[in-house]
Chains A and B, each alone.
With several copies, the nearest count.
Chain A
Amino acid sequence: MMTEIRIVSRGGQGGVTGAKMLAYAGHLDGKFVQAIPKYGAERKGAPIFADVRISTTHVKTHAPVITENTHSWIVLDPSLIQTIPLSKLSQDTLIIINSQEYPKSLQNENKLRIGKVDAVKIARECGLIKSGTEMVSTVMLGAWVKATNMVSLESLKNAVKHQFGDGELTDANIRSIELAYSQFEFI
């Protein structure tokens, strides 16, 4: 069993680090994992994505996730919904969006499972702001865990600890995960 997740974000939002943390959480749960950042020449602010695979056996593929097979899309910036090739998605694909409200462009997509969380708000609440940008990636991971239960909340928190070490930043991120976990809702 292999689960493929794509995190869609803008340079600077923490999407790549988020992918690593998610993979790490899977790793702590005893799964085989992979985190693939898609590198380009893009700079801060440009759209980028990173893929995560969580599997019960060693992952042999190295390619970016295949659209049809992707289990979940975690979208860190609502303006990036347009980059998702909706028509190619399979039945029940999960899309989690950082957004206050239900995105209009998805209103008629009934083969998908769509959820949202106001990650910007949570990030601000928790003080997760760097150079003026809200760091929403851990928030979004918290929401995804709530939605899927595919890694344990505990492991995700430990992954955050592993990433940021002990200290305020970790505390803030863990708090944000908890908030997201409680505030996430399917639409």
Chain B
Amino acid sequence: MNEEIELKDPVLPLGRPTLGSAGETGDWRTFRPKFIEENCIKCYKCWLSCPEGTIRVDAHGEFPYIDYDYCKGCGICVHVCPGRKKQKALEMVPE
């Protein structure tokens, strides 16, 4: 009957894994965690508990660092950081 219409491919509801799928969520922050290298004992508790995966560690034995593009500034890393001699290796500072 109407064989000549162009047959379109279906659009399926597929989302692909994407870094920053919600944008650069770093700008949700009002405070930022600041790293103080001398106090860090490389226990990686910050890495373990950061909900965002924005505490990065390149390899075991390296210092952690923060991906500020996406860090939402929740303060968990600071809260869990034991630091050295009660001196935390992370602190929250205003943006």
Contacts and interface: CB of A to CB of B under 8 A. Distances in A.
Interface of A: 10-11, 42-46, 79, 132-133
Nearest to A42: B22
B31 A46 contact: no
A2 to B, nearest CB: 33
Contact of A132 (B22, B27, B30): B30
The 10 residue pairs across chains A and B that have the minimum distance between CB atoms: A45-B28, A132-B30, A133-B30, A132-B31, A46-B28, A44-B28, A79-B27, A45-B72, A45-B27, A45-B29
B25 interface: yes
A78 to B, nearest CB: 12
B15 interface: no
Contact of B25 (A45, A79, A132, A133): A45
Nearest to A41: B22
B23 interface: yes
A11 B28 CA distance: 8
Contacts of B31: 132
A46 B29 contact: no
The B interface, classified by DSSP as helix, strand, loop or mixed, is: loop
Nearest to B28: A45
A133 B94 CA distance: 10
Contacts, number: 18
A46 B30 contact: no
Interface string B1-44: 00000000000000000000011010111110000000000000
B91 to A, nearest CB: 14
18 contacts: A10-B28, A11-B28, A42-B22, A43-B28, A44-B28, A45-B25, A45-B27, A45-B28, A45-B29, A45-B72, A46-B22, A46-B23, A46-B25, A46-B28, A79-B27, A132-B30, A132-B31, A133-B30
A75 to B, nearest CB: 15
Nearest to B31: A132
Nearest to A129: B30
Contacts of A44: 28
A173 to B, nearest CB: 20
Contacts of A42: 22
Contacts of A79: 27
A166 to B, nearest CB: 29
A77 B28 CA distance: 11
Contacts of A43: 28
B37 to A, nearest CB: 25
Nearest to B26: A45
A44 B25 CA distance: 10
